[in-house]
Amino acid sequence: MVNKLRIAVLRGGPGRESQISMKTGFSILNNLSSDKYVVYDVIISRDGSWIVGGLVVKPEKFVINLDMVINALHGEYGEDGRVQKMLDDFGVPYTGSNSISSMFGMNKGFSKEIYKNSGIKTPYSALLKSNNINEKSVRELFRTFPLPCIIKPVRGGSSIGVSLARDFKELMSSLEDCSKHSDSILIEEFISGKEVTCGVIDNFRDKDVYSLLPIEIILSEESSFFDYDSKYNGQTQKILPGRFSQAESDEIQRLAIEAHKALGLRHYSRSDFIVHPKRGIYILETNSLPGMTEESLFPKSLEAVGSNLEEFLEHLINLAKNK
């Protein structure tokens, strides 16, 4: 009898995306075969404790009995390289990108520089330290930066702390709000156009990096951009495949692959773009651990190419196992 792989699914976490991670982890747990794997549901609490079966465990003692970890965390701790560094130190294989690539992918300032150095077009932007927000600095930004603009925390996901500023009042309030979420703020030119996201998978279907189909995102009338509410309120329309010309679709897929490679990511990722009718395709950011909830875009992309979450997870486990 073949021994089953002992796999822990990490979910929750201390960051602001804890609840989304809980849902991602729940979806993953429901799609792992009990015939093949012994699965442990590991909930990371807000204070960083590891909880298994209602009991707090020491990570260093718990993981020595594992064959692998599936990282279902989002945002701080799970997506910024910290948990990856810990698992590397313990010598435990895990899914997703390594600690260095995760850190770069999570930092929107770093990733934008990498995009530009790799020839991937991204909106004009500026960085501002959260402790440097005052009347003078915001007046200078208002005078020199084109409005409307998008305000984003440099670190974080799920569009938490992201807002659109159209005038000085909104710029000031957006920056003040964003400063609560990150020590640095990215101010980015707002480009109108079709919102699109595109996932990629390593070593899938005989491709070194396989691109899933681009998804077009149609926002409700109340939404100006793909913010947190738009992502999870169920009112946003997703068109798959998106309504793009063949040339546009091919280019979106190529850029998603290039972004994945440029950031040094592994196993899978999902990149977000804006397609302007005249200026072309701009990359916004890349998510190194896309969500796997019922509302998430990555599972929908899998279904569109005749796959599913169960098959993807088996592929992911094989990637991690074989490094």
Report the chain's mean pLDDT, rounded to a whole number: 91
Longest Cα separation, the chain: 71
Domain layout of the chain by residue ranges: 5-94, 104-121+191-322, 125-189
Q: Are strands 125-129 and 5-12 parallel, antiparallel or unpaired?
A: unpaired
Cα–Cα distance for residue pair 140/182, rounded to 1 Å: 21
pLDDT for 182: 80
Are 175 and 153 in contact, with CB atoms under 8 Å apart?
A: no
The two three-digit tokens of residue 33, written as one number: 């075969």
Residues 42 and 288: their CA atoms lie apart, in Å, by: 20
Do 84 and 73 touch, CB atoms closer than 8 A?
A: no
CATH superfamily of 125-189: ATP-grasp fold, A domain (3.30.1490.20)
For residue range 134-159, list pLDDT tens digits in order: 888 899 999 999 999 999 988 765 46
The residue behind tokens 């990733």 is 111
pLDDT tens per residue across span 164-180: 999 999 999 999 888 88
User: What is the percentage of the chain residues whose pLDDT exceeds 90?
Assistant: 74
pLDDT at site 236: 76
Average pLDDT over residues 284-298: 91
Query: What are 107-129's pLDDT values in tens digits?
Result: 999 999 999 999 999 999 999 89
Given CA atoms 24, 30, 36, 42 in this order, what sign does their dihedral have?
positive
State the pTM of this model. 0.90
For the chain, give the number of residues. 323
As a whole number of angstroms, the distance between CA 100 and CA 143 comes to: 36
Reported confidence tier of residue 234, pLDDT bands at 50, 70, 90: low
| pLDDT value at 233 more than 80 | no
SS3 11: strand
> How many H-runs (helices) and E-runs (strands) does the chain carry?
11, 15
Starting at the earlier edge strand, list the strands of the sheet with 50-52. Answer: 55-57, 50-52, 37-44, 5-12, 68-71
pLDDT band at 295 (very low <50, low <70, confident <90, very high): confident
Cis-peptide, bond into residue 214, ω within 30° of zero:
no
Confidence label for 219 from pLDDT (cuts 50, 70 and 90): confident
Band (pLDDT 50/70/90 cuts) for residue 298 is very high
8 A C-beta contact, residue 12 and residue 22: yes
Average pLDDT, integer, range 215-242: 69
In angstroms, the CA 244 to CA 280 distance is: 12
Q: Which residue intervals of 107-240 are DSSP H helices? A: 108-117, 135-144, 168-178, 228-232
Q: Indicate the fold that domain 5-94 takes in CATH.
A: Rossmann fold (3.40.50)
pLDDT of residue 46: 92
- The answer, yes or no, to whether residue 2 has pLDDT greater than 80, is no
Closest Cα partner for 76 from 44, 30, 116?
44
Give me the mean pLDDT over the 198-208 stretch.
97
Which pLDDT value is given to residue 1?
45
Question: Spelled out in words, what is the top-level CATH class assigned to the domain 104-121+191-322?
Answer: alpha beta
Question: Is 16 in contact with 162 (CB distance < 8 Å)?
Answer: no
